[in-house]
Amino acid sequence: MAVPKVAPRSAVSELASLLVSPEIARLVGELEATRWTGRPGYPIRTMVGMALAKSLYAIPTWTRTVRLVGEHAALQAALGCPGKVPSEWACYRFTRKLREHSDALARCLDRVTAGLHERLPQMGANVAIDASDMAAYANGQRFVSKGGRERDADEYSDPDASWGHRSAVSTRKGGGFYGYKLHMAVCADTDLPLAWQVETGRRNESSFAVPLIDAVRARGFAAETCAMDKGYDLAPIYAECEARDVRPIMPLRASPDVKRGEHRPPTCEHGKWRFAGSDAKRGASKWRCPTGECQPASVWVKADRLHPLIPRETLRWRKLYRGRASVERSFGRLKNDWALAPLRVRGIERVRLHADLTVLAQLSRALSRVRSRPTGRSSRPVPQAA
């Protein structure tokens, strides 16, 4: 096996260890079984390695990935292509092949998340969901020039991209953007993606919360809580979460019932009633008179958007809601450290493949790091360097 002798944790040795991992090796095997070798005959393992290298080195284009590999003998050795670097055209042909065999890639992602779950049993218990904008590699202006004629439908270079709204992040203002949205569910304890979906920019995030929770559960994670921002604060999302035994953790929008104060705890002449625990089977939370002088001294409040089973007044809710930051961190890492952005492909299927390959590189490196750690510490969260 061509594993180069370099210092541990170098990108080259990490790439080499990813390629020999059983999860990736099986993807290579499944693609080889399709009897496709890729003209002019680059091994599948080399091509999968090129895709991983592109993300590991955070390179936005194939052209520059090919150039980097061409300049580095150690990389060529790790990829098993000494002196014979695949061309960018071979890379394009390979991505087309991967799109045709997206089921093999999906199974590979399932294996990687399962491998992580095995090492990190608490992974996926607390989930955070959000969406992030990905600007299209295309011009979305309606007019061909300032004051010029309107663009025809066939003149948009990326017909799948659309205008959407993005919320403010840090000091950046919210506003319109043209492109796609990555909807993602992340493990709040490890910051690792659990399930994700690329959709055109105009689709609203609230439609994807429940499908993402279902995808997380389908991967075998026992989600217990799910933190989301106000954009998801809708009664049906609460109900669908509870139906799956997942406690929704969301702040309230200023809807008319909230303005009327209907979300507040019960009160009496003795003051504001105190939370006294929830019963998930009963679907209600218990509240008690602060002095116990009232008759009855406690009441059950049926769970809904205004009165969730983990009430917003509790420390537990605040702690879980802080976990929502994990999904923001995860978007930032994927974009800045793994070259999820800027997009250099057009069309939703290509953007989806780009997102899948980017997350595959990140997750499989996380798995490789967890595996290389001494045993006995396996229940600790993955250290998220870069």
Task: Look at residues 377, 264, 263, 384 and name the one whose alpha carbon lies nearest to residue 328.
Answer: 384
> Closest separation between CB of residue 293 and Zn ion, Å?
5
Token pair 């969406």: residue: 131
Q: Could you tell me which stretch among 3-11, 54-62, 215-223, 290-298 binds Zn ion (CB under 5 A)? A: 290-298
> Closest separation between CB of residue 284 and Zn ion, Å?
19
> Closest separation between CB of residue 268 and Zn ion, Å?
3
- With respect to Zn ion, which residue has the nearer C-beta, 209 or 289? 289
- With respect to Zn ion, which residue has the nearer C-beta, 279 or 293? 293
Q: Could you tell me which stretch among 146-154, 161-169, 210-218, 289-297 binds Zn ion (CB under 5 A)? A: 289-297
Q: How far is CA 386 from CA 56, 226, 331, 362, in A?
A: 10, 24, 12, 10
DSSP letters along 46-75, please?
Answer: HHHHHHHHHHHTT-S-HHHHHHHHHH-HHH
Contact 250, 320 (CB under 8 A): no
Which class for 142: exposed (0-12), middle (13-18), buried (19 or more C-beta within 10 A)?
exposed
User: Contacts with Zn ion in 118-147 (CB under 5 A)?
Assistant: none
What's the first-to-final CA gap in the chain, in angstroms? 28
> Closest separation between CB of residue 287 and Zn ion, Å?
11
Task: Tell me how far apart the alpha carbons of residues 253 and 234 are, in angstroms, rounded to a whole number.
Answer: 9
> Closest separation between CB of residue 272 and Zn ion, Å?
10
Rounded-to-10 torsion of CA 359, 363, 364, 369: 150
Residue 289 touching Zn ion (CB under 5 A):
yes
- With respect to Zn ion, which residue has the nearer C-beta, 287 or 331? 287
- With respect to Zn ion, which residue has the nearer C-beta, 272 or 282? 272
Residue 288 touching Zn ion (CB under 5 A):
no
Q: Could you tell me which stretch among 147-155, 196-204, 258-266, 282-290 binds Zn ion (CB under 5 A)? A: 282-290
How many residues bind Zn ion, per CB under 5 A?
A: 4
Contact 196, 184 (CB under 8 A): yes
SS3 at position 165: strand
> Closest separation between CB of residue 266 and Zn ion, Å?
9
Apex 50 CA angle, 45 and 51, nearest 5: 100
User: Contacts with Zn ion in 221-280 (CB under 5 A)?
Assistant: 268, 270
- With respect to Zn ion, which residue has the nearer C-beta, 11 or 299? 299
User: Contacts with Zn ion in 292-331 (CB under 5 A)?
Assistant: 294
> Closest separation between CB of residue 212 and Zn ion, Å?
42
In what helix (H) or strand (E) does residue 93 lie, and over which residues does it extend?
Answer: helix 88-100
- With respect to Zn ion, which residue has the nearer C-beta, 218 or 268? 268
Residues that bind Zn ion (CB under 5 A): 268, 270, 289, 294
